[in-house]
Structure 1
């Protein structure tokens, strides 16, 4: 059973260059095969994203620009992780509730996922999530 201790910050290799830095996310950076990539942007002030868990899918979140908080909950513990570096990402294992909050102006959240979109993989109600953890 996944816990928030299984959710870790991972460094993304950074190639520094006077012309600008470059970072690459490949399968040797994250512990799953990449099946889907999407990003969140233009999130209005005070808005929240996430508010769900996945039965099987794992995700890797990166703040490409700006910052935001990721609130993780495994039904026993809660932890908030602030993402604000484009060369560091948060691995979120399956069966972890996540909420994204406190987006700065201009924040861009990149999500690298272990699977394509499958509605049946989502747990969208917190009480249903708690039931799956008991």
Structure 2
């Protein structure tokens, strides 16, 4: 079954504003899933691509903690791009969506909250295999 691109959400992360600096808060019950893994990308060259895969079961929230980058999402038919450049916005990427991250600005940091621990069997890394899986 093909995931609809309308299932992709931009989440507004709660922020506590303070003259000493702002505090973004993500806690249990805020996300559409409980996360089991956190990882981040940094020092990504501006001409590099990350992602290039889909997940069978795992959901992710992608956040630009610093700088900016573009997330291009596809469901096999439709394509949609998101520019992430604010640490109080999280992009919810459900299962069955091919993702590519590109155009990283200097000093950007990409944080990912994943619904499960790493499992290579959950990844579809070949685009043609992804297209077959969503037919």
Q: TM-score, normalised by structure 1?
A: 0.98
SS of corresponding position for 1:63: strand
Paired residues of 1:10 and 1:29 also in contact (CA < 8 A): no
CA distance in 2 between partners of 1:5 and 1:68 (Å): 21
Q: CA RMSD in A?
A: 0.7
Aligned residues: 134
Q: Mind listing any 5+ residue stretches in structure 2 that lack a counterpart?
A: none
Paired residues of 2:66 and 2:86 also in contact (CA < 8 A): yes
Give the corresponding residue for 2:4: 3
TM-superposed CA distance for 1:28, in Å, is 2.3
Paired residues of 1:35 and 1:113 also in contact (CA < 8 A): yes
Cα deviations across residues 18-77 of structure 1 (Å, max 9, x unaligned)? Answer: 000000112322110110000000001200100000000000000000000000000110
TM-superposed CA distance for 1:131, in Å, is 0.3
TM-superposed CA distance for 1:87, in Å, is 0.5
Q: TM-score, normalised by structure 2?
A: 0.97
